[in-house]
Amino acid sequence: MKKIAILGSTGSIGTQTLEIVREQKDIEVLGISAGSNVKLLEQQIREFKPRLACIWTEADAKDLRVRLKDLNVRILSGMEGLIELAVMEEVEILVTAIVGMIGIRPTIAAIEHGKTIALANKETLVTAGHIIMPLAKKNNVPIYPVDSEHSAIFQSLNGENPKEIEKLLLTASGGPFRGKTMEELQHVGVKDALKHPNWSMGRKITIDSATLVNKGLEVIEAKWLFDIEPERIEVVVQPQSIIHSMVQYVDGGIMAQLGTPDMKLPIQYALYYPERRALGGKRVNFFELGQMTFEKPDTKNFRGLDLAYRAITQGGSMPTVFNAANEKAVALFLDGKIRFLQIAELIETAMDAHKIIDAPDVTQILETEEATYDVISTQFLK
Ligand code: NDP
Ligand code: MG
């Protein structure tokens, strides 16, 4: 039996991970956690019987303890609970399916305890990649990507020499607003932004896909995972989402991974690497598909991507500002408090106001996050 724990088991990646557990039958789930979805977490505890579960507030944890008094499960709360879950003794793989920078501390703790990481939580790598990657190397801990593009690159690197990479070709769907003019983007609402053409995902990443911030986060994620300069990472819009990303080698040869858009493939690949397990679902039918098309990203109307390149080029604490400002702005947008185009504006304002700290430690990263939230709140109240 493979023993895993999941940070964020009630979300889009978390529930799909549990579907794989259900189908494969040789994975034991020792720990799961949620932010506030008590009901689903209770169902998951009853079905998967983990030894430990964690929910963010102590009030919810108390409620769960009462609901689950017939079961032998420890219920914890807060950051301490997440860290305890991340380092559980027998766990071999930690699936980081939590959203946002809250994943930094538990991920670091897991690596320090030698756990393999199946990483979906890109915000952690974007803001603390300079800490996490050397730490993983030092502890001999593999980090397997769950993000579909990075999994595709990882798969396209099989049997190849990373020194022979010319560039990475990171594909993007273009999101729900691809092709829209600035004038049209003034009027788009939350409902429109939540309608992704090809992928069904959590709310935050769906908005990030609409702004192209997600692709920006992925460029930074790829830089850390594959140790490659951002100038050698090119974004290619491939609206059908069949090519999940590509690696171009020095001889001009390109290796790619293709498939229907289904996150279960990259999740399962990360859990079983280097083995490939059978997975049901739709196959690509090239005759039905007819054609695949390619475009340059529209960086004029969707500024998220260029802001990400700026953040990673400036380096230090700037990617944290980019990410934290985006997290806050997306939350305000989802609450109906700002317009779609203001997301990029607020990110830029926060980045302009920031004085870069070189190689920030975890405390400085989290202080920068707080300071960025303050800048956005002040800006927002103006
Ligand atoms: P969701 O919003 O669907 O799920 C987030 C999970 O994190 C939920 O289980 C949520 O619990 C939990 N969570 C949130 N806050 C806390 C907290 N304070 N303490 C404990 N748990 C918490 O997100 P996704 O699954 O879409 O995304 C997860 C990560 O994976 C993100 O970093 C995203 O960028 C990345 N990713 C996602 C993809 C996808 O297809 N969805 C594709 C590639 C990457 P609750 O349900 O209670 O709120
Ligand atoms: Mg992705």
Per-residue model confidence as pLDDT tens digits over 166-219 = 999 999 999 999 999 999 999 999 999 999 888 899 999 999 999 999 999 999
Q: With a 6 A CB cut-off, is 123 part of the ligand 1 pocket? A: yes
pLDDT of residue 382: 67
CA of 290 to the centre of ligand 2 (A): 24
Total Cβ atoms within 10 A of residue 207: 26
> H-helix or E-strand containing 211?
helix 203-211
Q: Average pLDDT for residues 270-295, to the nearest whole number?
A: 98
Q: Whose CA is nearest to atom 23 of ligand 1?
A: 202
Q: With a 6 A CB cut-off, is 6 part of the ligand 1 pocket? A: no
Query: In which band, very low, low, confident or very high, does the pLDDT at 100 lie, cut at 50, 70 and 90?
Result: very high
* Cα gap 144→154, rounded to integer Å: 8
> pLDDT > 90: what percent of the chain?
97
* Cα gap 77→353, rounded to integer Å: 35
Q: Average pLDDT for residues 337-344, to the nearest whole number?
A: 97
Cβ atoms of 163 and 137 closer than 8 Å? no
Would the pTM of this model clear 0.75, i.e. be above it?
yes
Q: Strands, E, within the chain: which ranges?
A: 2-7, 27-34, 52-55, 74-77, 93-96, 116-119, 143-145, 165-172, 233-237, 243-249, 254-258
Q: With a 6 A CB cut-off, is 85 part of the ligand 1 pocket? A: no
pLDDT of residue 203: 96
Maximum alpha-carbon separation in the chain: 63
Give the tens place of pLDDT for each residue, 43-83.
999 999 999 999 999 999 999 999 999 999 999 999 999 99
Q: Average pLDDT for residues 240-251, to the nearest whole number?
A: 98
CA of 9 to the centre of ligand 1 (A): 8
CA of 354 to the centre of ligand 1 (A): 28
Report the amino acid identity of residue 65: R
Q: Average pLDDT for residues 87-103, to the nearest whole number?
A: 98
Do strands 52-55 and 74-77 pair parallel, antiparallel, or not at all (unpaired)? parallel
CA of 316 to the centre of ligand 2 (A): 24
Answer yes or no: is pLDDT of 302 > 80.
yes
Q: Average pLDDT for residues 311-316, to the nearest whole number?
A: 98
